[in-house]
């Protein structure tokens, strides 16, 4: 079945690109990594005003969703600009609380949709660490049939991406919901987290490829641009193919999520492994073709280079995602 974004969806992506281009995200990233969340929270508010975080929140709670296709459009742009903060986790929390319902949903979902609340979470089967919990207004944990609001996190640990700190929630915390609705809500949240992370990885890979193509056109060797060398062209072509093969899997997963298909989990896993591997391959290509300059802290591209592998492994490593595809 052919699939194309509508004119409105394409315009949504262009508007986010314009907003983020003007936001100087490398400066926001540096501040976030240093523990200054002010510029990042300000940018978060502008993204919320554009409707980004309302996409996973139902209309009954002040959102416009769930709209997975539009969420994919948004997250690709956020990945291209390396927006800091628990983007995938906040969207997933929207799906989690919408499935849970009750007072906790009424308390937190309007804030998520409006951008007033930045949320992180952990789910069984996806690791023990919450991303950017030190910058979040709430960290939710799910164990079995119980949803808890975790205590304030301790000192975060460093990760490969200095603008993405990890914290292990302390045991205990206040239970905010129990019952049979928790498990299916947690499964939906896991799918949303993996799906959003796949879109972020695809956008990250796109920016790495764009920057690398621009660089090899300028860098010369033996009196000619290195981009004219056949081996360089082949490497860039392989990187482009990987990203372009991942794109239809991402939007196919969005359609499955939107339709509530029982195969949505497998479709999300396929998109996640494809986009994650493609983004990481783009980082390896970018590092090799930039040469020694690719290792420097001063180069803004270093933030994208460091982000690609954590995005590949977050919310489902390649081996885990492949197993889910086979099981599905």
- Are 318 and 259 in contact by the 8 Å Cβ rule? The answer is no
pLDDT of the residue at 171: 81
- Residues of the chain above pLDDT 70, percent: 99
pLDDT of residue 217: 95
Q: What is the DSSP letter of 24?
A: T
- Paired with 225 in beta bridges are 220
Residue 78: pLDDT band (50, 70, 90) is very high
pLDDT given for residue 117 in this prediction: 96
pLDDT at 154 over 90: no
Average pLDDT over every residue of 48-69:
96
Rounded average pLDDT over 167-194:
92
CB contact at 8 A, 174 and 93: no
- Region 208-232: mean pLDDT is 93
pLDDT at 298: 80
* Beta strands, E only, the chain: 119-122, 130-131, 138-143, 146-149, 166-167, 174-178, 220-221, 224-225
More confident site: 296 or 322? 322
pLDDT at 219 over 80: yes
Tokens for 64, please give them: 């416009």
Does the pLDDT at position 26 exceed 70? yes
pTM, whole model, 2 decimals? Answer: 0.97
Per-residue pLDDT, 152: 76
Q: What are phi and psi of 139, to 5 degrees?
A: -125, 120
Average pLDDT, the chain: 94
Question: Is the pLDDT score of 2 beyond 70?
Answer: no
Beta strands in 84-128 (DSSP E): 119-122
Is residue 1 scored above 70 in pLDDT?
A: no
Is the pLDDT at 94 greater than 90? The verdict is: yes
Q: Using DSSP, state whether 237 is helix, strand or coil.
A: helix
Burial class (CB in 10 A: 0-12, 13-18, 19+), 110: middle
């Amino acid at each position: 079945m052919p699939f194309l974004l509508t004119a409105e969806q394409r315009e949504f992506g262009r508007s986010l690109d314009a907003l983020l281009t003007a936001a100087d995200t490398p400066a926001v990233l540096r501040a976030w990594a240093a523990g200054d969340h002010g510029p990042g929270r300000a940018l978060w508010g502008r993204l919320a005003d554009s409707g980004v975080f309302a996409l996973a929140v139902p209309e009954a709670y002040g959102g416009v969703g769930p709209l997975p296709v539009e969420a994919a459009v948004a997250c690709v742009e956020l990945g291209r600009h390396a927006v800091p903060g628990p983007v995938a986790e906040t969207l997933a929390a929207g799906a989690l609380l919408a499935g849970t319902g009750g007072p906790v949903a009424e308390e937190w979902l309007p804030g998520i949709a409006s951008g007033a609340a930045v949320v992180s979470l952990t789910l069984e089967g996806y690791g023990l660490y919450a991303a950017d919990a030190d910058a979040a207004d709430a960290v939710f944990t799910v164990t079995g049939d119980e949803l808890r609001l975790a205590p304030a996190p301790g000192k975060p640990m460093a990760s490969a991406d200095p603008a993405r700190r990890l914290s292990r929630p302390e045991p205990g915390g206040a239970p905010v919901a129990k019952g049979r609705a928790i498990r299916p809500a947690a499964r939906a949240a896991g799918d949303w987290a993996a799906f959003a992370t796949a879109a972020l990885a695809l956008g990250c890979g796109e920016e790495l490829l764009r920057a690398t193509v621009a660089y090899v056109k300028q860098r010369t060797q033996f009196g000619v641009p290195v981009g004219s060398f056949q081996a360089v062209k082949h490497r860039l072509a392989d990187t482009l193919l990987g990203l372009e093969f991942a794109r239809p899997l991402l939007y196919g997963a969005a359609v499955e999520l939107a339709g509530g298909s029982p195969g949505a989990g497998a479709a999300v896993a396929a998109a996640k492994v494809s986009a994650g591997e493609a983004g990481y391959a783009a980082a390896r290509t970018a590092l090799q073709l930039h040469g020694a300059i690719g290792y420097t802290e001063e180069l803004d591209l270093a933030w994208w280079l460091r982000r690609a592998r954590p995005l590949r492994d977050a919310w489902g490593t390649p081996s885990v995602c492949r197993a889910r595809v086979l099981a599905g």
